[in-house]
DNA sequence: AAAAGTTTGGTGACTTCGTCACTGAAGCTA
DNA sequence: TAGCTTCAGTGACGAAGTCACCAAACTTTT
């Protein structure tokens, strides 16, 4: 029997303090899966059978409208869980959201029944799950607020900074940025042209280079 | 000891099949509360201490933006639960959503600890809770899609029909309708004027009267 | 009952955003 | 190198959001 130390479990804030016997259940009854980039992990007609705890990579959860437009709802990163999915698979399976591996992904997959077991047995695991829900839901509230009330130029500046991270290059097409923000490609093109005119960015096919971070930051944080 | 039959529990789809001893815990450790209309049930700085199961009335959950604008996220009706709230109170308490009693409300209030107990003890209760989550979350996805992609005239027609129910009168101000749809009052005023011109509705101060349901229905269901 | 205040709705001018139809340029493929 | 596909640019226009202001309808006060 393993001692359940130094396992992937400890990479998850909120799981590392689990009781040892719970950790063992988690370790013994979950499997580590590897998923190549761009795999559809769940979606309409493809209900997820497992709760995924991401060890590396990221998963993009997006919604497709009937008219073929799409919007990105949130991302799941390493150290986080696809927990909303779990709820959704229990009932309303007919929603149109889908989860896609954005990079190669490694994850611990917990079967539905084991998940149920853990929820029943461990107060700490329950807390972990409901905390994850909480974060996702507040994220969704934020998305709604941004779509409804914020200006596109501000949202685009924020998204560019977010996607650039510590670097300066954002490798993405205008079309993809449009999906990020739930708008049309032309709108992105025009905004980026304006950013370029202000010498905040330079553009090349399939990429945006940030050359004046400050400018974007000022716009991004100008509340209103 | 009660037999736990004919109680409020049976009004909830998903709870009526609970084991009897679970029903008894639910009955004995929850309290029936009455809340007058317009009470703020939870909100920023007022975390809910209980899971509410609505017996009568309805609760409106809305988000306030910094600029003072608001948007209605969803409603909780009799026979449903304020379950999202429960998750949120566990962690991220700093979200800006608030729940308001739209009418006088009667509800069964389950303290947080009892909720945790029930989750641990009953598979059926877990299913009830996660199903409720599922419904709310898919509702939120729908809200996002509508805000991002649907035309205002269509959304307004849908909302009018929804609020009218089986009647023909919607007692609401333009400002309130704007909050329903996350837009500005002027937009609502202009759309309603157009509906009036088409002789689908008549207006009076604080109310809209539907006089041609068909017209609204056609617009509401014209996808695209 | 008249005056004053508040809430609700109306409107024009303007900006921003989304849509449509089309163009051209860049990169890939055969 | 010719042809295809993807990506980006653009003008024209319609839809939606913003701003500033006005007017009408209810409420409260005197």
Report the C-alpha gap between B60 and B98 in whole angstroms: 8
Cβ separation of B63 and A144 shorter than 8 Å?
yes
As a rounded value in angstroms, the CA-to-C1' distance for B224 and D15 is 14
B20-29 and B112-121 helices, crossing angle to 10°: 180
Burial class (CB in 10 A: 0-12, 13-18, 19+), B221: exposed
Q: Tens digits of per-residue pLDDT, A152-195?
A: 999 999 999 999 999 999 999 999 999 999 999 999 999 999 99
* Contact criterion met (CB < 8 Å) for A133 and B87: yes
Which pLDDT score, from 0 to 100, does residue A22 have?
95
Q: Which run of H or E residues covers position B1? A: none
- Measured between alpha carbons, how far is B87 from A175 in angstroms, rounded to an integer? 35
Domain boundaries, chain B: 8-147, 150-221
Residue contact A131–B91, C-beta within 8 A: yes
Does B77 touch chain A if contact means CB atoms closer than 8 Å? no
Give the per-residue pLDDT at A55: 96
Torsion sign, CA atoms B24, B25, B26, B27: positive
Which pLDDT belongs to residue B65? Answer: 83
Nearest to B59 by CA among B102, B104, B88: B102
Report whether A12 contacts A118 (CB < 8 A): no
- Domain A8-147, CATH class in plain words: mainly beta
Residues B51, B85 contacting (CB under 8 angstroms): yes
How much of chain A is in helix, strand and coil states, percent to nearest 5? 45, 25, 30
- Cβ of A86 and B130 within 8 Å? yes
User: Hey, are the CB atoms on B182 and A144 less than 8 Å from each other?
Assistant: yes
Residue A16: per-residue pLDDT: 92
- Which nucleotide in the DNA or RNA is closest to residue A67, CA to C1'? C19
For A48-70, what is each residue's pLDDT tens digit?
Answer: 788 999 999 999 999 988 777 89
A176 CA, C20 C1': Å apart:
20
What is the full per-residue pLDDT of chain B (224 aa) written as tens digits? 455 556 899 999 899 999 999 999 999 999 999 999 999 998 887 777 899 999 999 999 999 887 788 999 999 999 999 888 777 666 665 667 889 999 999 999 999 899 999 999 999 999 999 988 888 888 999 999 999 999 999 999 999 999 999 999 999 999 999 999 999 999 999 999 999 999 999 999 999 999 999 999 999 998 65
Distances in Å between the Cα of B222 and the Cα atoms of A191, B35, B150, B191, B211 are 31, 39, 11, 16, 19
Q: Which nucleotides of C are covered by protein (CB under 7 A)?
A: 7-13, 16-21, 26-27
Interface of A with B in 126-185 (CB under 8 A): 126-127, 130-131, 133-135, 137-138, 140-141, 143-145, 147-149, 182-183
- Determine the residue of chain A that is closest to B182 in CA distance: A148
Residue of B nearest to A135 (CA): B92
| Residue-averaged pLDDT of chain A | 90
- Count helices and strands in chain A by DSSP H and E runs: 8, 10
Q: Cα–Cα distance between B119 and B121 in angstroms, integer?
A: 6
Contact partners, residue A13, CB within 8 Å, separation at least 6:
A79
Determine whether domain B150-221 maps to CATH 1.10.10.10.
yes
Paired strand residues for B146: none
Residue in A85, A130, A15 with CA at minimum distance from that of residue B120: A130
Interatomic distance A202 CA / C24 C1' (Å): 20
Interchain pair B90, A131: CB under 8 A:
yes
CATH match for A151-221 among 1.10.10.10, 1.10.260.40, 3.90.1150.10, 1.10.10.60: 1.10.10.10
Task: Name the pairing type of β-strands B105-111 and B31-35.
Answer: antiparallel
Is B190 near strand C, with its CB below 7 A from some atom of it?
yes
Task: Tell how strand A31-35 and strand A105-111 pair up.
Answer: antiparallel
pLDDT at position A96, please? 75
Query: How far, in Å, is the CA of B118 from the C1' of nucleotide C9?
Result: 51
The pair of structure tokens assigned to B39 is 């009470």
Q: Could you read off the pLDDT of A99-158 as tens digits, one per residue?
A: 999 999 999 999 989 999 999 999 999 999 998 888 888 899 999 999 999 999 999 999
| Residue keyed to tokens 């909050």 | B179
Q: What is the pLDDT of residue B84?
A: 82
pLDDT score of A90 = 62
Nucleic chain C contacts, protein chain A, residues 113-152, CB cut-off 7 A: 151-152
Q: Chain D positions under 7 Å from a protein CB?
A: 6-12, 15-20, 25-26
Whether residue B187 lies within 8 A of chain A, CB to CB, comes out as no
| C-alpha span between B168 and B205 (Å, rounded) | 15
């Amino acid at each position: 029997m393993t001692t359940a130390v130094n396992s992937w479990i400890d990479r998850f804030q909120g799981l590392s303090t689990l009781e040892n016997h719970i950790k063992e259940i988690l370790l013994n009854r979950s499997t580590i899966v590897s998923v190549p980039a761009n795999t559809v992990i769940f979606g309409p007609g493809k209900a997820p059978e497992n709760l995924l705890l991401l060890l590396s990579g990221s998963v993009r959860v997006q919604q497709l409208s009937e008219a073929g437009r799409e919007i990105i709802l949130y991302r799941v990163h390493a150290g986080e869980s696809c927990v909303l999915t779990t709820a959704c698979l229990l009932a309303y399976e007919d929603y149109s959201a889908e989860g896609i591996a954005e990079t190669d992904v490694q994850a611990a997959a917990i079967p539905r029944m084991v998940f149920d077991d853990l929820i029943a047995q461990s107060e700490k695991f329950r807390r972990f799950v409901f905390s994850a829900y909480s974060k996702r839901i507040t994220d969704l509230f934020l998305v709604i607020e941004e779509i409804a009330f914020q200006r596109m130029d501000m949202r685009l500046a924020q998204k560019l900074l977010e996607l650039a991270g510590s670097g300066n290059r954002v490798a993405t097409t205008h079309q993809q940025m449009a999906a990020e923000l739930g708008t049309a490609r032309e709108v992105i093109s025009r905004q980026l042209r304006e950013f370029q005119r202000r010498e905040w960015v330079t553009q090349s096919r399939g990429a945006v280079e940030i050359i004046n971070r400050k400018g974007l930051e000022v716009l991004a944080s100008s509340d209103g």
